[in-house]
Amino acid sequence: MKLFYTGPLVNAEMLVTMLDRHGIAATQAFVDASQSDEGDLNRPAQVFVPVADYDRAYQLFYAEREDEL
């Protein structure tokens, strides 16, 4: 697995869902696992994708789209 994103939990959860819809089995983990889980949606989380799917995931979410104006 390769680190794909680090940011607020709310964004990480959405990203995992969107990657899954594209057939990429992403996982998420909290940056600080010792921190209590109080439902804080801004808690820092990381999203990991399989190394084999990293380039495709990057193209889906970070590459500039030529068809957008």
Helix, strand, coil distribution of the chain in percent, nearest 5: 35, 25, 40
pLDDT, tens digit (0-9, with 9 covering 90-100), for 14-66: 999 999 999 999 999 999 877 766 778 889 999 999 999 999 999 998 887 66
pLDDT for the residue numbered 11: 95
From residue 37, give the alpha-carbon distance in Å to each of 27, 40, 65.
17, 7, 37
Residue of 60, 55, 53, 52 whose CA lies nearest to 15: 60
Class (C level, CATH) for 2-32+42-61: alpha beta
35-48: pLDDT as tens digits: 766 778 889 999 99
